[in-house]
Chains A and B, each alone.
Chain A
Amino acid sequence: NAGVTQTPKFQVLKTGQSMTLQCAQDMNHNSMYWYRQDPGMGLRLIYYSASEGTTDKGEVPNGYNVSRLNKREFSLRLESAAPSQTSVYFCASSEDRGRAETQYFGPGTRLLVL
């Protein structure tokens, strides 16, 4: 099992450019999440998908869109990148969304917006 995989590992964008971050999991999990990690702030939830076909906003959704393509894949799109979106992005999945569920994280995508 590969677990949670993310592509790309690293990306540099210019302000205003768009890109899609890809995430896939092979654990047959129902729930998937996108977080961003900024220095001194821990991780903050951008969007989540409780199950295939559903998505909803987290704490910091502005400037992002998501697609739950199927049960395995959950992509994050930046339509018009801004320097404030420079961050490390993590995708995670869990079997369900109960309060005791363990979330499994991908290796992250480091994004630099110039």
Chain B
Amino acid sequence: GDSVTQMEGPVTLSEEAFLTINCTYTATGYPSLFWYVQYPGEGLQLLLKATKADDKGSNKGFEATYRKETTSFHLEKGSVQVSDSAVYFCALNAGGTSYGKLTFGQGTILTVHP
């Protein structure tokens, strides 16, 4: 079946540090890939997405590139801020008979210190 694996957390960084959160996936067909972010006490919101191989999603300084050859969609940001502290989820939607279902990774907690 479809699955998403994220790097183990939590991740703790100082402000302005470089961020990478690794995400790899297993899916049949050609999934779309997503990063969702959950701020404390809130629901999930879309951070960025990519729908085909080599697409780059970007938003709020975050980027991720859909790499079909390595089945990866790693999240990066060049300079993190305290306000980026949140839980980050990688997810895929395999389409077809998966009826719009999102398959999530386990989430990575990011804490950014001043």
CA–CA, A99 and B106, complex, Å: 20
Tell me the nearest residue of chain B to A3, going by C-beta: B43
Interface residues on A, range: 20 to 34
- Beta-carbon contacts of B9-43 to A below 8 Å, as 1s and 0s? 00000000000000000000011101010000111
A-side contacts of B89, CB under 8 Å: 42-43
CA–CA, A106 and B44, complex, Å: 8
Interface residues of A (CB under 8 A from B): 4, 31, 33, 40-45, 48, 50, 56, 58-59, 90, 92, 94, 96-108
Are B105 and A105 touching (Cβ within 8 A)?
Answer: no
Interface residues of B (CB under 8 A from A): 4, 30-32, 34, 36, 41-46, 49, 51, 89, 91, 93-96, 98-102, 104-107
CA–CA, A41 and B105, complex, Å: 7
Are A101 and B43 touching (Cβ within 8 A)?
Answer: no
CA–CA, A20 and B71, complex, Å: 39
Tell me the nearest residue of chain B to A9, going by C-beta: B41
B-side contacts of A50, CB under 8 Å: 99-100
B-side contacts of A92, CB under 8 Å: 44
Q: Smallest CB–CB gap between B21 and chain A, Å? A: 14
Q: Smallest CB–CB gap between A80 and chain B, Å? A: 26
CA–CA, A105 and B91, complex, Å: 14
Are A94 and B100 touching (Cβ within 8 A)?
Answer: yes
B-side contacts of A104, CB under 8 Å: 45-46
Question: 8 A-B contacts, Cβ less than 8 Å apart?
Answer: A43-B102, A43-B104, A99-B30, A99-B94, A99-B96, A102-B34, A103-B46, A103-B102
